[in-house]
Chain A
Amino acid sequence: MTRTREPESKSKTSSPSSSSTGMKLIVPLQGVVQGRGGILLGSLIPCALFYFFQLYLKKRRRSNDKHPSSNPPSPSSSFPELPRTPSRSNLSSRGSLTGVRLSRLATTISDDDSAYYVGLNRASRDPYHKLTNPDGIIQLGLSDNTLSLDLIGDWMRKWGSGGDDGLSINGIATYQAFDGVDELKLALSDFMHQVMGGSVHFDTSNMVLTAGATPAIEILSFCLADHGNAFLVPTPYYPGFDRDVKWRPGVDLIPVHCRSADNFNLSMTALEQAYSQARKRGVKVRGILVSNPSNPVGNMLTQDMLYNLIDFAEDKNIHLIVDEVFAGSTYGSEKFVSVAEILESDSEYIDNRRIHIIYGLSKDLALAGFRVGVIYSFNKNVLATARKLCRFSSISAPTQRLVTSMLSDKKFIQDYFETNRNRMRQVHHEFVDALSKIGIKCAKSSGGMFCWADMSGLIKPYSEKGELELWEKFMSIAKINITPGSACHCIEPGWFRICFTTMSLEEIPLVIERIRRVVEVCKSSS
């Protein structure tokens, strides 16, 4: 008796049920052949079999494509191939029918092929270099800031190796407090005070330090919500939130759509609506997650808006998380207002135990590689739990020492901020100007490291499909990696995030020229 191949949802080939299922399929076929009833079944079943077989083959092909000769994909351009040994065939490129299984979460993660990650991968496999690879892909999809890295480099050269005494590991080799050493907390508290406008005092006992802002967001999610709960988040939002909040904490993100007509500013009506719709669906909303300055739009929350959010959180008895990683990266005329400032000035009327701030040095100080993040909360229980959880994501001790040293050099920090702000303002102004000259308008922004560009006129159809086709054009024709709005869950198709802080003034014309190529192509085909 031939055994029918089950679709991939059945992982065990040896289960006894498959043979009886086989029988259930064979018998009606026999019925058809012998002319008894079952004509319907007789035609349906082979079709169903054929369909499932195709599905199985397709999945098999896809899983083989994902594991071409067992090499994991890599963004590094110098990534060597995994060595081919005869044993290779025994390693895991087999389909899951016979191999050992991974968790559902692992499958979700390895299947994640959002444009954000795909773009980053492709760009790093063919990276642009002025001299060695002038036709490579220019990376404008990662919000890094290289505009003032020379200043950091100079400081590192002078002081980064511990000065004349050299790097000592005395006192830093052994286990440190997982939530960060006091010296660094103090230095960060001072730094944040400066960055957030010089009016807020940050108490070190309200701080938990983490290896970057990424785990900070994840840890807060674990503290504030259970698996299956949700946060409300205004769109468009930073694609990384999907990873940080959903993957392991299992907290859902409910989008609160913002519109270009409002310059993508949050509307309280939309927030209310999203909240009540979630309630109707039986979803427990535990908090609101916002970024300020916002990623990807680059606009800032006004003081009024912050008050509205606080009132809303109070009214619904939920948390408010404000990601302020770009607080020091502002270039516009608006003044940045941290939610901490409001809490400090109105401490008697607001219960600050529902408000939590995320910060880090990856953006404002361009130290993404060093992994320095902060959870700032007034909630003793949140802090206690976060302190236990951050043992999974602690900052390396030598780096804590190095960064403390850098932050304590007040003159350097001052210089860095002034210079960086000027350079950002310049590049932003030039770039937005040049974009508008080729017909691309950007949303009004005053902070962050990107322009939120309206390319809706170039896409056809006016849909996510059209947007992704344009994104592909940018990647293959213009050879620049920018982030499509759909990866940021933007409700209006055609918007793209373009980071401008990895471009020097001199490189702007080159980038514009490449963008123009695509604009021409789109115009000529319409």
Chain B
Amino acid sequence: MGIEIEKPCVVELSNIAVSNTHGEDSPYFAGWKAYDENPYDELTNPSGVIQMGLAENQVSFDLLERYLEEHSEATTWGKGVRNSSFRDNALFQDYHGLHSFRAAMASFMEQIRGERAKFEPDRLVITAGATAANELLTFILANPGDALLVPTPYYPGFDRDLRWRTGVKIVPIHCDSSNNFQITPEALEGAYKEAESMNTKVRGVLITNPSNPLGATIERSVLEQILEFVTRKNIHLVSDEIYSGSVFSPSEFVSVAEILEARNYKDAERVHIVYSLSKDLGLPGFRVGTIYSYNDKVVTTARRMSSFTLISSQTQHLLASMLSDKDFTELYIRTNRERLRKRYEMIIEGLRSNGIECLKGNGGLFCWMNMSPLLEKATKEGELKLWNAIIHQVKLNISPGSSCHCSEPGWFRVCFANMSENTLQVALERIRNFVDKIRTHTLTAGSN
């Protein structure tokens, strides 16, 4: 029996199809392979790989479940389906999105910001997830070959979302541990000049606040400096605030929306906010994202473009109901914050007791862990070597800083909200053993 050799396919595909700008060959995604092949399960596979590379929020899932059980009207189609409500909903493919849904999202976003900023439902554009929102904004704000400035370290997915189909470049704004990775005016200018030296037009700055992977909010003074910078250069500012509801202490998050409102929306037409329910509400499967823009033309254009990435009317209907229930959202936001804070403290303490320090964080679903003391060599290769050991020996999938374009080797992003407390303890235990082994080995090696 011969092996069937497939005739080579003659018809060509596009450059996009054959390029690897999707970035899915980076270690960030490669680590997942190890997990997929041997996933941890408390009962059936206790020695498997624990997934700590996925920023998913499962700590407050019970609240959502309970809500839906107690409020079945949220999931039904209103009193009797023969009325127009269902008719309109099933057919409703209007790219504006259901007004009730947008109003509920706007109100939810306001609640998260402690009512310190107002959001108009008619400035909200719906998209199937923040991934689509970031890509869509990039299509609108920049031409192929132009650049967006993005502070490092940043979410590895940006390489794909901002660059792949758009043809737009990312020029990094270098941040380092000397000042807790905060963005400085010098770093902003430096990035801008770097783009200029490559003859690349800078179209905007994209920040994530709270930051992924740092797990820390951006300070008000820094936000003001960034606003001043983009205004001076006459470019855009995109603020990805998808973790805004996951800041442990509500007073510590300052949204760019608050700053704009405080200054009466001066220069606001260059600012655009991205939000999503994938992180704060733990509903990534629902594919719910939004763009909020203070720029009318961006709103109009984004709406038309959102035809490629609409949210199902069923989902809009369900969420409109849930998110406009202020008692529920207040309870959810408060409880979620508290639970995340507890998790964070648990992992920080656990790591600290093993001599591993993390960046001081105050939000998000992960911590930014400093393992540079454990590196054999303070290089990217050294980091990847350590990472390999962590994946294959410790059996934890965490994300190496190099995949986040961090300029300093040895930092890792560790997610803590996508597992039970027990699993987290198991992970911490494994880390303890690993660190002990390294330290003993070093001691033994040193004593020869």
Contacts and interface: CB of A to CB of B under 8 A. Distances in A.
Interface in B118-139: 120, 122-123, 128-129, 131-132, 135, 139
Interface in A380-395: 381-382, 385, 388-389, 391-395
A154 interface: yes
A102 B302 CA distance: 11
A367 interface: yes
A169 B65 contact: yes
10 tightest CB-CB pairs across the interface, nearest first?
Answer: A369-B313, A397-B285, A87-B265, A92-B269, A167-B75, A399-B312, A157-B81, A396-B312, A153-B81, A368-B93
Contacts of A157: 76-77, 80-81, 86
Nearest to A152: B90
A402 interface: yes
22 contacts: A90-B267, A105-B139, A109-B301, A109-B304, A109-B305, A152-B90, A153-B86, A156-B77, A166-B69, A173-B284, A222-B16, A286-B14, A317-B10, A371-B311, A371-B312, A382-B17, A392-B129, A392-B131, A392-B135, A394-B128, A396-B288, A399-B315
Given A223-B13, A243-B307, A174 B284 contact: yes
Most chain A CB within 10 A, of B7, B122, B131, B311, is at B122
A10 B323 CA distance: 46
A86 to B, nearest CB: 7
Interface in A351-402: 351, 353-354, 362, 366-371, 379, 381-382, 385, 388-389, 391-399, 402
A215 B314 contact: no
Contact of A366 (B7, B12, B82, B90): B90
Contacts of A102: 140-141, 297-298, 301
A417 interface: no
Interface string B206-224: 0000000000000000000
Nearest to B270: A100
B259 interface: no
B68 A166 contact: yes
A332 interface: no
B265 A90 contact: yes
A106 interface: yes
Contact of B297 (A74, A110, A175, A317): A110
A76 B94 contact: yes
Interface residues of B, number: 95
Nearest to A502: B91
B308 interface: yes
Contacts of B91: 144, 146, 149, 366, 368-369
A386 B309 CA distance: 15
Contact of B120 (A83, A222, A389): A83
Interface in B83-141: 86-87, 89-94, 96, 99, 120, 122-123, 128-129, 131-132, 135, 139-141
A270 to B, nearest CB: 23
B359 interface: no
A381 B285 contact: no
A370 B312 contact: yes
B296 A91 contact: yes
B374 interface: no
Contacts of A382: 13, 17
B65 to A, nearest CB: 6
A104 B288 CA distance: 27
B62 to A, nearest CB: 11
B42 interface: no
A102 B247 CA distance: 32
B314 A396 contact: yes
A156 B140 contact: no
A222 B19 CA distance: 12
Q: Which of B54, B58, B304 has the most CB of A within 10 A?
A: B304
A261 interface: no
A368 B307 CA distance: 12
B301 A110 contact: yes
B420 interface: no
